[in-house]
Amino acid sequence: MKTATIATMLLACTTLAQAQSSATLYGRLDVGFDYTTVVRSAGGASGSRFRAQSSDWGASYFGLTGVEGFGSGWSALYNLEAGLNLMTGTSTGSAGQLFNRKAYVGLKSDPYGRVTLGRNLFIANGQWDADPMFGATYSAASLIRGRNVPITSNNVDWQSPSFGGLDVYAQYALGNQASGFNRGAAGGYGRSDGVQLTYRNGGVLLRGMYDELRDANGQFSNVFLYSRELFAGAAVTFGALTMMAGYNHLHAPDTPAGVANRADHGWIGAKYQLAPQWLLHGGLFHVRVDGGVGDATHDASGHATLIAAGAQYHLSKRTFLYGNVAHVTNSSTTNFGVGGNRPGTDNNNLDNPLTGQGQSGIYVGMLTTF
């Protein structure tokens, strides 16, 4: 009888532990085709390019996330996420980097919020909630060279609870180098950090952010790669219509003398739920670079304007077809493309048009989640 009672208690404890824990496999898969004009070739000429492409609308990835509840509002959590190129079947990470997008573990408390340690999306990725193009290839990333899409390692992240619609998110990424506190591993980022304030109330979202992204030497050496950033954005929903706007100010004080070191970028746009299956969206984006000349890896003073629009047709809650178009115009000194390409005149930046030229693009595809 005693043995049976103990067995029953163990079974009950096991069942309780299972009820308090969860593990979920998830993913997003995006494939399609794109067509881009004025793409440079290695010989310095330019032409149009048609290609099969993965992740034009958004990054393809798969991941595993889990939670273990301790009771009294406390729980442990983890998230592992790896990027994929579906056209080649390969990882988008560096050699030996299994989970290149997210790899963190942490604790969560109802009254105190969530703390995680590990690799994660850099805090600037929070700008996508104000982007009418959803952070796709043609988006608020295009005219700031992808400054709002980095992923950083060695992070300590804290997400607060919501207080009357207001919450705080802070991130601190260590460089992990003996040669200097601000330095990072070769080819990576140095010490990086940021804080984000968000207010949500019904159909209103307001967000402000300050962040710092250093190069491996611990310097703010390139306005679109390693710089200080101020951001403000908003999204306001009226029924089927959502109006969106955003602004970035970027400054890289350690840029070489005489080279442009400041940029201001802003946009307005909207998305409209035309029908249950149809979503329309579009935006107008403008950037101005100031402070000096450019070189192989730095953009010169000048300006550019991007107009982009798209549509989604939802086949189900998890799967949709999409199509986006965009056109960018450059001043005589800039070479921004429709996508968030690398800065400067380096001939390896083949997706950028020639200086002073415009560029057009279109892509169509299919995205599904699980």
Is the pLDDT confidence value at 257 over 60? yes
4: CB partners within 8 A, 6+ apart? none
Is the pLDDT confidence value at 256 over 80? yes
Domain annotation covers residue 9: no
The torsion angles phi and psi of 15, rounded to 5 degrees, stand at -60, -40
Rounded Cα gap, residues 294 and 278, in angstroms: 43
Rounded Cα gap, residues 205 and 231, in angstroms: 14
Q: Strand, coil or helix: what is 116?
A: strand
Decide: 245 and 212 in contact? Cβ < 8 Å.
Answer: no
Given this model, what pLDDT does residue 349 score? Answer: 73
Is the pLDDT confidence value at 146 over 90? yes
Decide: 320 and 134 in contact? Cβ < 8 Å.
Answer: no
β-pair partners for 32: 53, 365
Domain of residue 201: give its range: 23-58+125-147+174-369
Rounded Cα gap, residues 117 and 240, in angstroms: 38
Tokens found for residue 93: 């990470």
Domain annotation covers residue 336: yes
Given this model, what pLDDT does residue 44 score? Answer: 72
The model's confidence at residue 119, banded by pLDDT at 50, 70 and 90, is very high
Domain annotation covers residue 320: yes
Tell me the per-residue pLDDT of 273-287, one tens digit each, with 9 for 90 and over: 999 999 999 999 999
Which of 97, 140, 135, 144 lies closest to 119 in space, CA to CA? 97
The mean pLDDT value for 168-188 works out to: 97
Is the pLDDT confidence value at 3 over 50? no
Domain annotation covers residue 39: yes
The model's confidence at residue 346, banded by pLDDT at 50, 70 and 90, is confident
Is the pLDDT confidence value at 178 over 80? yes
Mean pLDDT of the chain: 94
The mean pLDDT value for 287-298 works out to: 98
- What is the domain count for the chain? 1
Is the pLDDT confidence value at 224 over 50? yes
Tell me the per-residue pLDDT of 65-81, one tens digit each, with 9 for 90 and over: 999 999 999 999 999 99
The mean pLDDT value for 285-309 works out to: 98
Is the pLDDT confidence value at 344 over 70? yes
The model's confidence at residue 10, banded by pLDDT at 50, 70 and 90, is very low
Given this model, what pLDDT does residue 348 score? Answer: 74
Question: Maximum CA pair distance of the chain?
Answer: 89
CATH number at residue 346: 2.40.160.10
